[in-house]
């Protein structure tokens, strides 16, 4: 019967084509508004790394001024980042499955063969090789630098696919050399396409920007004293001994995010014990004079606390849903008018033996097809809206404005299901006609 009902639905849609088209357009506009805002909100609030969301933690220790609460807040929290010396110490103690300092700088990047004028300002991420394995970063060529590079601060780099395309025309550049701020770095790996949204591991204000193009060992940044105060947020409760980078590294200024990978509660408890002993040790050395507030914070908790995403986008989704409901009510009114003209056919079909269920099935297929077309057209409109949004909001990663295949399927299904629900009332109303009256009046 499905094929028969579909054939009848297509004939009916053609017969009432203008009304049907209007209903389809109204549904499409509603679904496009909803799914565009939902996509942006979903991409902003989704779990950036589902396979690791329970095992990655930001380490927070209360290394702030003895005289004032960090952030001048009512409730005291440990800062989100730590001083270089603490990051180095935690790496050296090696108590977690993976230790990932997140630091960075910017500098001029070029090929050794290029002129200085061809150098481009490039943002660099510095970390350890654990960064790549813990954050599931895919490699196109090569691999992360060896563990020895983390310790020695070797001048090596991993570059993004985009940068590899720009500098090496997409060829395998492992072993090639790039020049960063006058320092020569050997490429050991090239990343494949990689996007992580929200980019939880660094500054929350940049959570919706794409990853950087160059990655170097944290120790390399320290050794080469590569520092960009206007790029990297930092806070100091005590001035460094002098203006040198070396003094800054040795200061109590905090700016290094420090993530660890811990696979279960036991490991987590053990790491908390380690942090406690570490802080006690530092207290004995005269540091960490504030109450101990050690914390291991998950990516979701960190993003929520830092209010990485505004509640405005959630409000926008609700507004869009309300708009969609209005569109559906409009479509329902059109479908009702459309079905009113079917009273004669309903009566005839009842007379020849169709039950109410038969007619409900037949007309639900028709409203389902309206929903399907509305969904497909809405999907097309959503893509246009997302494309326009990505051009309008250039400060946000384009990946936020991209609908996954799963969301595309949801778009069409949502349209079909909501059309079926909102089409039910007109259908029930249509089939409740008195066949006897209708057949006589025909």
Q: Per-residue string for binding with another protein, 395-414, x by CB under 8 A? A: --------------------
Does position 440 interact with another protein (CB under 8 A)? The reply is: yes
Using an 8 Å Cβ cutoff, are 221 and 157 in contact?
A: no
Q: Is 59 helix (H, G, I), strand (E, B) or coil?
A: strand
Residues in contact with another protein, counted by CB under 8 A, come to a total of 25
Closest to another protein by CB, 354 or 400: 354
Q: Residue 54 carries which DSSP code?
A: T
27, 416 Cβ separation under 8 angstroms: no
Task: Specify the DSSP class assigned to residue 211.
Answer: P
Query: By C-beta, is 205 or 356 nearer to another protein?
Result: 356
181 part of the interface to another protein, by CB under 8 A: no
CB neighbours of residue 163 within 10 Å: 22
Map the footprint of another protein across residues 99-118, applying CB under 8 A. Answer: none
Distance set, CA 62 to CA 82, 179, 252, 280, 282 (Å): 9, 38, 11, 11, 11
| Window of 35-43, 95-103, 200-208, 429-437 that interacts with another protein by CB under 8 A | 429-437
Segment interacting with another protein, rule: CB under 8 A, options 151-159, 284-292, 328-336, 434-442: 434-442
Q: How far is the CB of 374 from another protein (least distance, A)?
A: 23
Which residues within the stretch 8-27 sit at the binding site for another protein (CB under 8 A)?
Answer: 11-12, 14-15
Q: Which is nearer to another protein, 68 or 442 (CB)?
A: 442
Instruction: Decide: is 442 part of the binding site for another protein (CB under 8 A).
Output: yes
* Contact flag: residue 2 with another protein (CB under 8 A): no
Q: For the stretch 278-315, what's the b/e string if a residue is b when 16 or more beta carbons lie within 10 angstroms of its beta carbon? A: bbeebeeeeebebeebbbbbbbbebbeeeebbeeebee
Write down the least CB distance from residue 24 to another protein, Å.
19
Residue 277 makes contact with another protein by CB under 8 A: no
222-234 residues labelled b (16+ CB within 10 A) or e (exposed): bebebbeeeebee
Q: How far is the CB of 6 from another protein (least distance, A)?
A: 13
Determine, following the binding rule CB under 8 A, whether residue 170 of this chain makes contact with another protein: no
CB within 8 Å of 210: residues ≥ 6 apart = 195, 199, 397, 398, 399
Q: Give the nearest distance from C-beta 338 to another protein in angstroms.
A: 14
State which of positions 329-358 bind another protein (CB under 8 A).
344-345, 348-358
Spatial CB neighbours of 106, under 8 Å, sequence gap ≥ 6: 121, 122, 123, 124, 228, 231
Radius of gyration of the chain (CA): 30
When asked if residue 205 is in the footprint of another protein (CB under 8 A), the reply is no
CB of 424 to another protein, least distance (A): 17
* C-alpha angle 425-427-431 in degrees, rounded to nearest 5: 120
The Cα 66–Cα 182 span in angstroms is 40
- 205 vs 340, beta carbon nearer another protein: 340
Stretch that binds another protein, among 68-76, 88-96, 296-304, 430-438 (CB under 8 A): 430-438
- In the chain the first and final C-alpha atoms are separated, in Å, by 27
- How many residues are listed for the chain in this entry? 442
In the complex with another protein, which residue's Cβ is closer, 120 or 432? 432
Q: What does the binding site for another protein look like in residue numbers (CB under 8 A)? A: 1, 4, 11-12, 14-15, 344-345, 348-358, 434-436, 439-440, 442
């Amino acid at each position: 019967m499905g094929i028969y009902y579909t054939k009848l639905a297509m004939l009916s849609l053609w017969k009432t084509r203008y009304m049907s088209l209007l209903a389809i357009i109204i549904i499409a506009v509603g679904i496009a508004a909803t799914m565009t805002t939902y996509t942006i909100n979903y991409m902003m609030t989704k779990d950036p790394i589902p396979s690791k969301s329970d095992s990655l933690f930001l380490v927070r220790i209360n290394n702030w001024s003895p005289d004032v609460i960090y952030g001048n807040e009512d409730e005291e929290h440990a800062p989100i980042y730590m001083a270089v010396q603490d990051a180095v110490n935690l790496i050296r103690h090696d108590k977690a499955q993976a230790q990932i300092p997140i630091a960075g700088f910017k500098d001029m990047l070029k090929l050794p063969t290029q002129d200085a004028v061809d150098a481009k300002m490039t943002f660099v991420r510095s970390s350890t090789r654990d960064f790549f394995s813990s954050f599931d970063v895919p490699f196109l060529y090569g691999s992360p630098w060896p563990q020895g590079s983390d310790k020695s601060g070797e001048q090596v780099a991993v570059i993004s696919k985009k940068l590899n395309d720009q500098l090496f025309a997409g060829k395998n550049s492992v072993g090639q050399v790039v020049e960063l701020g006058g320092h020569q770095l050997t490429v050991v790996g090239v990343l494949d396409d990689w996007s992580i949204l929200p980019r939880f591991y660094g500054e929350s204000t940049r959570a919706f920007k794409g990853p950087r193009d160059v990655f170097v060992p944290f120790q390399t940044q320290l050794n080469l004293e590569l520092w960009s105060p206007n790029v990297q947020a930092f806070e100091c409760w005590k001035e460094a001994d002098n203006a040198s980078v070396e003094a800054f590294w040795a200061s109590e200024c905090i700016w290094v995010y420090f993530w660890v990978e811990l696979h279960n509660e036991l490991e987590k408890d053990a790491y908390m014990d380690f942090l406690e002993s570490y802080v006690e040790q530092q207290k004995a050395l005269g540091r960490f004079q504030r109450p101990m507030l050690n914390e291991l914070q998950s990516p979701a908790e960190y993003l929520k606390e830092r209010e990485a995403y505004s509640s405005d986008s959630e409000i926008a989704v609700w507004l869009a849903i309300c708009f969609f409901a209005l569109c559906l009510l409009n479509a329902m009114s059109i479908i009702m008018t459309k079905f009113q003209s079917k009273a004669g056919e309903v009566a005839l079909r009842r007379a020849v033996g169709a039950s109410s269920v038969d007619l409900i099935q037949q007309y639900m297929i028709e409203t389902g097809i309206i929903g399907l077309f509305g969904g497909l057209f809405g999907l097309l409109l959503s893509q246009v809206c997302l494309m326009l949004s990505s051009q309008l909001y250039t400060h946000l990663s384009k990946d936020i404005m991209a609908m996954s295949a799963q969301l595309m399927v949801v778009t069409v299904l949502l349209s079909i299901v909501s059309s079926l629900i909102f089409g039910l009332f007109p259908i029930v109303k249509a089939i409740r006609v008195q066949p006897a009256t209708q057949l006589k009046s025909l």
